[in-house]
Amino acid sequence: MSTHTITANEMEAIATGGAFLGTGGGGDPYIGKLMAQAAIEQHGPVEVIAPEDVKDDWLCVPVCMMGAPTVMLEKLPAGDEANRALEQLEAFLGRKADALICIEAGGLNSTIPFAVAAATGLPLIDGDGMGRAFPELQMVSFTMQGVAATPMVIADEKGNSSVINAISNLWTERLARSQTIEMGGSALVALYPMSGEEVKRGILRHTLSLILDIGQVITGERGCNRNPATALIEKLNGKRLFSGRVIDIERKTEGGFARGRAVIKGMDEDQGRVFRVDFQNEFLIALDDDDKPLAVTPDLICALDADGGLPVTTEQLRYGLAVTMIGLPCDAQWRSPAGIELVGPGYFGYPQAYTPLEDLPL
Amino acid sequence: MSTHTITANEMEAIATGGAFLGTGGGGDPYIGKLMAQAAIEQHGPVEVIAPEDVKDDWLCVPVCMMGAPTVMLEKLPAGDEANRALEQLEAFLGRKADALICIEAGGLNSTIPFAVAAATGLPLIDGDGMGRAFPELQMVSFTMQGVAATPMVIADEKGNSSVINAISNLWTERLARSQTIEMGGSALVALYPMSGEEVKRGILRHTLSLILDIGQVITGERGCNRNPATALIEKLNGKRLFSGRVIDIERKTEGGFARGRAVIKGMDEDQGRVFRVDFQNEFLIALDDDDKPLAVTPDLICALDADGGLPVTTEQLRYGLAVTMIGLPCDAQWRSPAGIELVGPGYFGYPQAYTPLEDLPL
């Protein structure tokens, strides 16, 4: 896809597709959609450009929300934090941004950049740094490409902000996470300022087009009274993990994250089995009755409402909800040793080694 | 006193006097003294100027250490953090500082600015923002004068730093405290950038001369084999609270502070009585057997080793140590309603109302 424009209308499908690729996390995209739609109504549509059209010497900046999705549901942004974060980063760098990027292709963070792009008139690059959502800020392809997360600006809805300069992207995560917690559990950030050349080296390409596409498939299938699971699995080269009803859900907001696990009792062809999915903002691992993994981070674990067919975020999991869990292979960058070190099961404390989704039994 | 120069030799007395006015907190000034002496040996003596000689349009910047004194004893600074913090603040403001200030007249923070002054060649203004030490960064006379603590730079020994911009000095404290904790419990900061006019409006005058003086009294008395308590009480218009031996000490490092209490069994004329002193970095309240206050923040509670005569910090309190506790009246600014709100017993959660030291029974 080359340059095209996104109108308020298409934000509907982008929010839905983003919620699916968000692998349970990234926050409910509803608020982000409303923010993007309001900004587009006011300032006009957003120009989305292909990574190939980014000039090497451009300054490109990801803007996103940081924090626990459970907090974001209740602590609404004032609306201008992301713009303020971007402006302060530009002031610190002494240079205006030439384009914006989505840090992740999932949840709120695939819609908020549209709001900022509309308000600033900057183009948004078709791609992101994860190809999904991940809970921590160093977990982007750009880290593997040697791009520094700082200088980074973090801003809250009250008017507080910080410019962080850290010695590593992991230290940026630590310092920004403690600011996020102090700011009330969520904040808006502008980070990873990078050149167009760096963007082209690290970005996961055309993922905004992909989430628009996913959103349209979901809407289309639902319009025909079909659950989108089958169409999505086929389209995305995915795997049906299981279907079942939530019989137990455990969650806590700790360390600035929404952490927990859901126990799901199999239904239909999975009748008689019991499954478990763990999450830290995003789904990290899906296990069967014998604690054998069915899908492991960084591969994607996505949830669809088995009845309505809409994506389900971890905050929406509740007793009795029927879900279909789908596994998708992650981007090849994540399957490299550096990728597995950054976002593999070991980082999150799981003893299981990473096994690609395709090689795991069902 | 007008402009004079401070050599490495005089840092000895300044460190001792600073430990006394530090009211048990502000960190062990030993490290700060060594840093200042090393910087003076390398770069030459420090010029201390009277507040009256500060020009209205100067940019004046306090530099100090932030964190739990107990941490600072073991986590040594790399040496250049304070200079880096100052340089980054200057870069952010687009302007070089014309003079430095001590944020508090106590502990490490009355010696570290000498090290920075020596290294930068900047003059140090004779005065500070507290006339003692206090645990939180909004607790300075400049807050009462409407000076913002931000933009503020916080830097650690690893090379991490942040520029904080907050909506109030209390929010600055919260955001900077969480960064300090994440950085390992202590950090160096440059904050409250202010004009010479603001300095002259808010500064507690000539307190650096005062701590030099106090240090010289302590050294002089000890040289004559006298405990300096009597001479200091007379000189500073203070009050002997009690003498005794520590029979219980409780401390924890929580929320980035050293918090605790010491129980002290009276000796000499206080034989048969039992006292208690509470601290959050600094001594906050001294109580007698009936929980009746003998001295209450913001008045100063200072500890001297009853045997050796040197000031005692809260980290040095240990079972069996004999101490003489001395109360000193605080600066008049602290006794205003705004001062009591900022640093009075209510802020620290004590039910007792503030009563000036002179009006409390012994």
With an 8 Å Cβ cutoff, are A182 and B175 in contact?
yes
B163 to chain A: closest CA residue: A163
B148 touches chain A (CB under 8 A): no
Judge whether residue B2 has pLDDT over 70: no
pLDDT at B43: 95
Judge whether residue B362 has pLDDT over 90: no
pLDDT at A80: 85
Q: Which residue of B158, B175, B179 is in closest CB contact with A160? A: B175
Judge whether residue B70 has pLDDT over 90: no
How far is it, in rounded angstroms, from Cα B227 to Cα B231? 8
Q: Which residue of B161, B165, B178 is in closest CB contact with A178? A: B178
Q: Which residue of A88, A159, A181 is in closest CB contact with B178? A: A181
Residues B310-325: what's their mean pLDDT? 95
B157 to chain A: closest CA residue: A167
pLDDT at A207: 97
pLDDT at A28: 75
On the 0-12 / 13-18 / 19+ scale of CB atoms within 10 A, B222 is: middle
Q: What is the DSSP letter of B275?
A: E
CATH code for the structural domain at B227-351: 2.40.390.10
pLDDT at A256: 81
B151 to chain A: closest CA residue: A162
How far is it, in rounded angstroms, from Cα A106 to Cα A133? 5
**How many degrees, rounded to 5, is the angle at CA B261 between CA B256 and CA B262?**
140
B94 touches chain A (CB under 8 A): no
How far is it, in rounded angstroms, from Cα B87 to Cα B103? 17
How many C-beta atoms surround the C-beta of residue A351 within 10 A?
A: 6
Beta bridge mates, A286:
A277, A295
Ranges of each domain in chain B: 4-207, 227-351
pLDDT at B246: 97
* Sequential pLDDT tens for chain A (362 residues): 467 899 999 999 999 999 999 999 877 778 889 989 999 999 999 999 999 999 999 999 999 999 887 777 677 777 788 999 999 999 999 999 999 999 999 988 999 999 999 999 999 999 999 999 999 999 999 999 999 999 999 999 999 999 999 999 999 999 999 999 999 999 999 999 999 999 999 999 999 999 999 999 999 999 999 999 999 999 999 999 999 999 999 998 888 888 999 999 999 999 999 999 999 989 999 999 899 999 999 999 999 999 999 999 998 999 999 999 999 999 999 999 999 999 999 999 999 899 999 999 87
pLDDT at A2: 62
- Chain B hits for A178, Cβ within 8 Å: 178-179, 181-182
A84 to chain B: closest CA residue: B165
Q: What is the tens place of the pLDDT at every residue in B195-221?
A: 999 999 999 999 999 999 999 999 999
Give the gap in angstroms from C-alpha A166 to the nearest C-alpha of chain B. 4
A176 to chain B: closest CA residue: B179
pLDDT band, residue B28 (cuts 50/70/90): confident
Q: Which residue of B163, B181, B183 is in closest CB contact with A162? A: B163
Nearest residue to B63 via CA among B104, B26, B94, B20 = B104
B255 touches chain A (CB under 8 A): no
Residue corresponding to tokens 């308000």: A119
Cβ within 8 Å of B, A 186-205? none
A182 touches chain B (CB under 8 A): yes
One-letter amino acid at B253 equals: T
Q: What is the tens place of the pLDDT at every residue in B256-271?
A: 888 999 999 999 999 9
- Chain B hits for A173, Cβ within 8 Å: none
How many C-beta atoms surround the C-beta of residue A41 within 10 A?
A: 12
A152 to chain B: closest CA residue: B162
pLDDT at B72: 73
How far is it, in rounded angstroms, from Cα B245 to Cα B324? 9
> Across the A/B interface, how many CB contacts are shorter than 8 Å?
59
Q: Which residue of A88, A162, A167 is in closest CB contact with B175? A: A162
Q: What is the tens place of the pLDDT at every residue in B295-311?
A: 999 999 999 999 999 99
Beta bridge mates, B279:
B260, B283
- Chain A hits for B178, Cβ within 8 Å: 178-179, 181-182
Helix, strand counts (H, E) of chain B:
11, 17
pLDDT at B29: 75
pLDDT at B88: 96
Q: Which residue of A161, A175, A177 is in closest CB contact with B165? A: A161
Judge whether residue B190 has pLDDT over 90: yes
ipTM: 0.86
pLDDT at A32: 83
With an 8 Å Cβ cutoff, are A161 and B164 in contact?
yes
B173 to chain A: closest CA residue: A182
With an 8 Å Cβ cutoff, are A161 and B158 in contact?
no
Phi, psi of A305 (to 5 degrees): -60, 120
One-letter amino acid at B170 equals: L
Q: Which residue of A160, A166, A175 is in closest CB contact with B166? A: A160
| Residue A11: C-alpha distances to residues A106, A312, A362 (Å) | 13, 18, 35
CATH code for the structural domain at A4-207: 3.40.1610.10
How far is it, in rounded angstroms, from Cα A187 to Cα B243? 51
Kind of pairing, strands B124-128 and A293-296? unpaired
Q: What is the tens place of the pLDDT at every residue in A33-79?
A: 998 999 999 999 999 999 999 999 999 999 999 988 777 767 777 77
| 3 state SS of A182 | helix
